[in-house]
C-alpha cells in the first residue's frame, strides 16, 4: 500500500468537540460502557458499536431465498420489534460529518449529553427504541489523509481533497474518479479521501461474488448478521443536505416507503431552517445500499449532509439530529422495510 501524506490545506480551526481523527475516534469508542464495541476489521481497526442488542438465533435461510418463499419472515429471526437501524459513516474518508454525528449519538446514549455537553432528550429517547448498529468510520485509510472538515473550503480544493490529484497536478473530478476501480495510485500525487488505501471506492464495492475491499466485506457481513430494517449510509456533499431516495434496483415497496422518508426529511430540514435539497428523480446507482437490500431486504438509504452551505459546526451536527429525529419518528409509526410486501 502506497503511503500518502494528509492533504495540505489550512481551514478554520474546528471546535474541541469535533473529534474525527482516527486516534480520537478510537478514544471515544474506548469510553463505551452501555453499548458493546466489536472490531470488525482488525487490520484497519474498524469498529462497530451496538446498543439495545438482542440475542436471536441464526436464521436457517438467507434473505434472497426467504424472500422468494411463502414466509419471508423466516429470515428475520431477530423479530420485528424493535426494528434495527444500521448506521454507517465515513465510507468516503473526507466526509467527516457522519463520523462526528455517530460519535455524538454514542455520547448521547452513554451520558445523556453529546460531545458538546448538550442534551437532546427527544433524539435520545428515539434512539433507545431501536436496536442500533453503528460503524463510525468505514474508511480509516481515507479518513487518515483527509482534513477534519471542509467548511470554507473552495470548490476546487473540495474536489482535490475528496477525489484526489493526478501526478501532473490536475484535479481528479467526481465522476472521473469513478472511471477507475481501483484508482491507479502510481499516477496520482494525492488519492483523495474517497478510496481506501488500495484506491478502491468502498461505496461501489458491491458486485456479488467479487468484493475488492475488506472494508466492504466487513460492512456487508455485519449487515447480514444484524438484519437491519434501515441501513442508513451517512455521506456529505458540497451542496445542501438531502436524504436521497432509495435506489430503484430494489423492492417497489421499499422505494415507495423510502421516497416518503426522503420527502419528510426535506420538509423537516426546511422547516428547521437548514439548507435542504428537494429529493427528485430515481437513482439507478448500484452500491453498498443495493448489496444491503440483497442481503437483508432492508430499507437502504444514503444521507448526503452539506459540508458547509453557511452552517456552523453546531448546525452541521444539529441538522443531522433533525434528519434522525424525523426518520426515527417515522419508523416508529410504520416499519422502514415492508418485507412482507416485497
Ligand atoms: Zn460520499
What is the C-alpha to C-alpha distance for residues 205 and 233, in angstroms, rounded to an integer? 14
Q: How far is the CA of 96 from the centre of ligand 1 (A)?
A: 10
Does the pTM surpass 0.95? The reply is yes
Q: How far is the CA of 92 from the centre of ligand 1 (A)?
A: 5
What is the C-alpha to C-alpha distance for residues 32 and 190, in angstroms, rounded to an integer? 35
pLDDT tens, 27-65? 999 999 999 999 999 999 999 999 999 888 989 999 999
State CA 299 to chain mean position distance: 13
Q: How far is the CA of 236 from the centre of ligand 1 (A)?
A: 6
Given a cut of 90, whether residue 235 has pLDDT beyond it is yes
Top-confidence residue, 152 or 54: 152
Give the count of beta carbons closer than 10 Å to the beta carbon of residue 78. 21
Please answer whether residues 209 and 217 qualify as being in contact, where contact means their C-beta atoms are separated by less than 8 angstroms.
Answer: no
Q: What is the mean pLDDT of residues 253-267?
A: 97
- Report CA dihedral (214, 92, 39, 218) to the nearest 10 degrees: -30
What is the C-alpha to C-alpha distance for residues 259 and 282, in angstroms, rounded to an integer? 9
Q: What is the predicted pLDDT for the residue at 340?
A: 77
Q: What is the predicted pLDDT for the residue at 342?
A: 62
* Domain regions of the chain by residue span: 22-341
Q: What is the mean pLDDT of residues 220-230?
A: 96
Say how many residues make up the chain. Answer: 342
Q: How far is the CA of 322 from the centre of ligand 1 (A)?
A: 20
- Report CA dihedral (253, 250, 342, 331) to the nearest 10 degrees: -50
Please answer whether residues 134 and 98 qualify as being in contact, where contact means their C-beta atoms are separated by less than 8 angstroms.
Answer: no
The grid cell for 322 is 433533525
DSSP state of 89: E
For 22-341, which CATH class? alpha beta
Sign of the CA dihedral running 277, 278, 281, 286 = positive
Q: How far is the CA of 339 from the centre of ligand 1 (A)?
A: 27
Q: How far is the CA of 78 from the centre of ligand 1 (A)?
A: 30
The grid cell for 41 is 476489521
Q: How far is the CA of 118 from the centre of ligand 1 (A)?
A: 28
Q: How far is the CA of 302 from the centre of ligand 1 (A)?
A: 9
Helix, strand, coil percentages (3-state) for the chain, rounded to 5, are 40, 15, 45
Q: What is the predicted pLDDT for the residue at 24?
A: 98
Amino acid at each position: 500500500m502506497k503511503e500518502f501524506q494528509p492533504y495540505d490545506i489550512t481551514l478554520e480551526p474546528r471546535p474541541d468537540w469535533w473529534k474525527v481523527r482516527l486516534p480520537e475516534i478510537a478514544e471515544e469508542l474506548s469510553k463505551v460502557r452501555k453499548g458493546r464495541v466489536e472490531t470488525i476489521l482488525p487490520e484497519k481497526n474498524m469498529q462497530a458499536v451496538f446498543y439495545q442488542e438482542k440475542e436471536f438465533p441464526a436464521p436457517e435461510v438467507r434473505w434472497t431465498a426467504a424472500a422468494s418463499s411463502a414466509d419471508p419472515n423466516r429470515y428475520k429471526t431477530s423479530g420485528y420489534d424493535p426494528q434495527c437501524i444500521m448506521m454507517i459513516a465515513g465510507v468516503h474518508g473526507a466526509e467527516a460529518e457522519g463520523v462526528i454525528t455517530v460519535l455524538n449519538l454514542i455520547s448521547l446514549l452513554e451520558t445523556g449529553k453529546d460531545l458538546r455537553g448538550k442534551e437532546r432528550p427527544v433524539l435520545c429517547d428515539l434512539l433507545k427504541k431501536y436496536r442500533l448498529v453503528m460503524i463510525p468510520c468505514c474508511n480509516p485509510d481515507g479518513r487518515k489523509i483527509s482534513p477534519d472538515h471542509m467548511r470554507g473550503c473552495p470548490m476546487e480544493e473540495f474536489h482535490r481533497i475528496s477525489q484526489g490529484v493526478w501526478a501532473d497536478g490536475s484535479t481528479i473530478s467526481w465522476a472521473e474518479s469513478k472511471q477507475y476501480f481501483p484508482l491507479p495510485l502510481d499516477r496520482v500525487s494525492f488519492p483523495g479521501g474517497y478510496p481506501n488505501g488500495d484506491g478502491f471506492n468502498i461505496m461501489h464495492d458491491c458486485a456479488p461474488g467479487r468484493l475488492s475491499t475488506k472494508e466492504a466485506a466487513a460492512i456487508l457481513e455485519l449487515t447480514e448478521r444484524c438484519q437491519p430494517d434501515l441501513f442508513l449510509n451517512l455521506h456529505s456533499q458540497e451542496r445542501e443536505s438531502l436524504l436521497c431516495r432509495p435506489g430503484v434496483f430494489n423492492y417497489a415497496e421499499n422505494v415507495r416507503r423510502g421516497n416518503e422518508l426522503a420527502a419528510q426529511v426535506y420538509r423537516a430540514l426546511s422547516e428547521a431552517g437548514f439548507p435542504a435539497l428537494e429529493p427528485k428523480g430515481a437513482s439507478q446507482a448500484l452500491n453498498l445500499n443495493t448489496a444491503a437490500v440483497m442481503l437483508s431486504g432492508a430499507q437502504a438509504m444514503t444521507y448526503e449532509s452539506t459540508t458547509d452551505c453557511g452552517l456552523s459546526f453546531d448546525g452541521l451536527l444539529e441538522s443531522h439530529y433533525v434528519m434522525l429525529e424525523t426518520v426515527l419518528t417515522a419508523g416508529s409509526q410504520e416499519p422502514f422495510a415492508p418485507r412482507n410486501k416485497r
